[in-house]
Amino acid sequence: MSGALRYDKYAHEPFAVTVDLAVLTLRAGALHVLLVERGQEPYAGRWALPGGFLLPDESAESAARRELAEETGLADVSGLRLDQLRTYSEPGRDPRMRVVSVAFTALLPDAPEAHGGGDAARARWVPYDDARELAFDHDRILADARTRIGDRLENTPAATAFCPPEFTLGELQQVYEAVWGTPLDRPNFRRKVLAVPGFVAPVPGGARLTGGRGKPAALYRAGPAATLHPPLLRPQREGRTT
Amino acid sequence: MSGALRYDKYAHEPFAVTVDLAVLTLRAGALHVLLVERGQEPYAGRWALPGGFLLPDESAESAARRELAEETGLADVSGLRLDQLRTYSEPGRDPRMRVVSVAFTALLPDAPEAHGGGDAARARWVPYDDARELAFDHDRILADARTRIGDRLENTPAATAFCPPEFTLGELQQVYEAVWGTPLDRPNFRRKVLAVPGFVAPVPGGARLTGGRGKPAALYRAGPAATLHPPLLRPQREGRTT
DNA sequence: CCCTTTTATAGTCGGGCTGACCATAAAAGG
DNA sequence: CCTTTTATGGTCAGCCCGACTATAAAAGGG
- pLDDT for B91-148, tens place per residue? 999 999 999 999 999 999 986 776 666 555 688 999 999 999 999 999 999 999 999 9
| Residue B11 burial (10 A CB sphere; 0-12, 13-18, 19+) | exposed
Distance between CA atoms of B119 and B33, rounded to whole angstroms? Answer: 18
Summarize the confidence of residues A80-89 as an average pLDDT: 97
Residue in chain B lying closest to A85 (CA): B86
Q: What is the pLDDT of residue A7?
A: 43
| φ and ψ at residue B22, rounded to 5 degrees | -100, 95
| 8 Å CB contact between B146 and B105 | no
Q: What is the pLDDT of residue B153?
A: 98
Residue B178: closest CA among B149, B139, B138: B149
Could you count the other beta carbons within 10 Å of the beta carbon of residue A123?
Answer: 21
- pLDDT for A185-241, tens place per residue? 999 999 999 999 999 999 987 667 667 788 999 999 999 999 999 999 998 765 444
Q: What is the pLDDT of residue B236?
A: 72
Footprint of strand C on the protein (CB under 7 A): A 185, 187-188, 191-192, 195, 207, 209-210, 212-216, 230, 233, 235; B 168-170, 186-188, 190-191, 207, 212-218
- pLDDT for A101-137, tens place per residue? 999 999 999 867 766 666 556 889 999 999 999 999 9
Q: What is the pLDDT of residue B65?
A: 95
Q: Is the pLDDT of residue A9 over 60?
A: no
Q: What is the pLDDT of residue B12?
A: 63
Summarize the confidence of residues A82-97 as an average pLDDT: 96
Q: How far is the CA of B103 from the C1' of C14 (A)?
A: 47
B27-31 contact pairs (CB < 8 A, 24+): B27/B110, B27/B111, B27/B125, B29/B174, B29/B177, B29/B178, B30/B127, B30/B128, B30/B178, B31/B127, B31/B128, B31/B146, B31/B178, B31/B179
Q: How far is the CA of A216 from the C1' of D1 (A)?
A: 21
Could you count the other beta carbons within 10 Å of the beta carbon of residue A222?
Answer: 18
Distance between CA atoms of B46 and B134, rounded to whole angstroms? Answer: 6
Q: What is the pLDDT of residue A19?
A: 98
Give the containing element (helix H, strand E) for B21.
Answer: strand B16-27
Asked if the Cβ of residue B215 lies within 7 A of any atom of strand D, the reply is yes
DSSP secondary structure letters along chain A: --PPEEETTEEE--BEEEEEEEEEEEETTEEEEEEEE--SSSSTT-EE--EEEPPTT--HHHHHHHHHHHHH--S-GGG--EEEEEEE--TTSSSSS-EEEEEEEEEESSPPPP---TT-SEEEEEEGGG--S-STTHHHHHHHHHHHHHHHHHHSGGGGGGS-SSB-HHHHHHHHHHHHT----HHHHHHHHHHSTTSEEEEEEEE--TT-SSSPPEEEEE-S-SS-SS--PPS-------
DSSP secondary structure letters along A209-225: -TT-SSSPPEEEEE-S-
Query: What is chain A's mean pLDDT, rounded?
Result: 88
Enumerate residues 6+ apart whose C-beta is below 8 A from B156.
B226, B227, B228
Compute, in degrees rounded to 10, the torsion defined by CA atoms B203, B207, B209, B214: 120
Q: Is the pLDDT of residue A184 over 60?
A: yes
Strand D within 7 Å of which CB atoms in A 133-192?
A: 168-170, 186-188, 190-191
Q: How far is the CA of A46 from the C1' of D25 (A)?
A: 69
- pLDDT for A22-53, tens place per residue? 999 999 899 999 999 998 889 999 999 999 99
Distance between CA atoms of A40 and B231, rounded to whole angstroms? Answer: 47
| φ and ψ at residue B86, rounded to 5 degrees | -170, 180
Distance between CA atoms of B235 and B242, rounded to whole angstroms? Answer: 19
Q: Between β-strands A47-48 and A200-207, what pairing exists: parallel, antiparallel or unpaired? A: unpaired
Asked if the Cβ of residue B87 lies within 7 A of any atom of strand D, the reply is no
Q: What is the pLDDT of residue B241?
A: 47
Nucleotide closest to B218 measured between CA and C1': C8
Interface test with B, best of A17, A19, A38 (most B CBs within 10 A): A17
Residue ranges in chain B whose pLDDT is less than 50:
1-11, 239-242
Q: Is the pLDDT of residue A4 over 60?
A: no
Q: Running DSSP on this structure, what letter comes out for residue B167?
A: B
Its pTM stands at 0.91
